[in-house]
Chains A and B, each alone.
Chain A
Amino acid sequence: MRIRAQVAMVMNLDKCIGCHTCSVTCKQTWTNRDGTEYVWFNNVETKPGIGYPKHYEDQDRWHGGWQLDEKGRLKLRSGGRVKRLSRLFVNPDLPSIDDYYEPATFDKDILVNAPAGLKDTPVQQPRSALTGEPMALTWGANWEDSLGGAHEHATGDPNLARMPADAAARVKFEFEKTFLFHLPRICEHCLNPACVSACPSGAMYKREEDGIVLVDQDHCRGWRMCVSACPYKKVYVNHSTGKAEKCTLCFPRIEAGQPTICSETCVGRLRYLGIVFYDEEAVLAAASVTDEHDLLEAQRAVFLDPTDPAVQEAARAAGMPQEWLDAAERSPVWRLISEYKVALPLHPEYRTLPMVWYVPPLSPVLDAVGDAGRDDTDADDIFHTIRELRIPVEYLAELFTAGDVEATAGVLMKLAAMRSYMRARTLDGTVADDLLDGIGMTADQVEAMYRLLAIAKYDERYVIPAAYSKDAAALEAQATANQDCALDCEGGPGMTTQASAESFHLVEGDQVRPGRPGLFSRRADGRRGFTINPLRGGS
Chain B
Amino acid sequence: MTNFVWTVLPYLCLAVFVAGHVWRWRHDQFGWTTHTSQVLENRLLRLGSPLFHLGVLGVAGGHLMGLLVPASVTEKIGISEHAYHLTAVWGGTVTGLMLVTGLVLLIIRRVINGRVRRVTTRMDKVLYAALAAMAALGMIATVGVNLLGGGYDYRETVAVWFRGIFWFQPDPALMSGAPLVYQLHAIGGFLFLALWPFTRLVHVWSAPLAYLWRPYVVYRVRRGPAPSPTASPDQVRDAARQ
Contacts and interface: CB of A to CB of B under 8 A. Distances in A.
Nearest to A258: B230
B84 interface: no
Contacts of A467: 222, 226-227
Interface string A451-481: 0000000110000001111100001000000
Contacts of B234: 458-459
A336 interface: no
A223 B30 contact: no
Interface string B17-58: 000000110111111111111111110011001101110000
Interface residues of A, number: 78
A187 to B, nearest CB: 15
B216 interface: yes
Q: Which of the listed residues B37, B54, B219 has the most CB atoms from chain A within 10 Å of its own CB?
A: B219
Interface in A171-218: 192-193, 196-197, 199-202, 204-210, 217-218
Interface string A397-441: 000000000000000000000000000000000000000000000
A8 interface: no
Given A209-B221, A222-B35, A256-B230, A82 B212 contact: yes
B149 to A, nearest CB: 33
A201 B225 contact: no
A89 B27 contact: no
A515 interface: no
Nearest to B29: A218
Given A197-B217, A256-B227, A130 B232 contact: no
Interface stretch (B2-10, B69-77, B202-210): B202-210
A242 B23 contact: no
Interface in A109-154: 128, 130-133
Given A223-B208, A458-B232, A208 B219 contact: yes
Given A81-B211, A469-B225, 7 more contacts: A89-B49, A207-B220, A219-B29, A237-B39, A242-B33, A496-B228, A523-B27
Given A469-B225, A504-B30, A200 B211 contact: yes
Given A91-B38, A458-B234, A529-B27, A221 B114 contact: no
B218 interface: yes
Given A239-B119, A529-B27, A221 B217 contact: no
Interface in A485-539: 487, 491-497, 504-505, 523, 527, 529-532, 539
Interface of B: 23-24, 26-42, 45-46, 49-50, 52-54, 114-115, 117-119, 203, 206-212, 214, 216-222, 225-230, 232-234
A207 B203 CA distance: 26
A470 B64 CA distance: 49
Nearest to A478: B225
Interface stretch (A10-18, A94-102, A358-366): A94-102
A222 B203 contact: yes
B29 to A, nearest CB: 4
Q: Which of the listed residues B53, B207, B217 has the most CB atoms from chain A within 10 Å of its own CB?
A: B217
Given A85-B208, A221-B206, A223-B34, A256 B28 contact: no
Nearest to A467: B226
A205 B23 contact: no
A257 B40 contact: no
Contacts of B24: 532
Contacts of B50: 89-90
A27 interface: no
A82 B208 CA distance: 11
Given A196-B217, A458-B234, A493-B226, A240 B27 contact: no
A488 to B, nearest CB: 9
Contacts of A193: 217
B37 to A, nearest CB: 6
B42 A493 contact: no
B54 to A, nearest CB: 7
7 contacts: A84-B211, A192-B217, A205-B220, A206-B219, A221-B208, A242-B35, A492-B225
Given A96-B42, A131-B114, A207-B222, A197 B228 contact: no
Contact of B225 (A223, A252, A493): A493
B34 A242 contact: yes
A493 B229 CA distance: 10
A224 B218 contact: no
Contacts of B219: 205-208
A255 interface: yes
Lowest 3 CB-CB distances: which A-B pairs, in order?
A: A200-B208, A466-B229, A197-B216
B27 A468 contact: no
B227 A196 contact: no
A442 interface: no
A222 B204 CA distance: 12
B39 A97 contact: yes
Interface string A232-269: 00000101111100000000100111100000000000
Interface in A368-403: none
A169 interface: no
Nearest to A100: B39
Contact of A475 (B35, B39, B225): B225
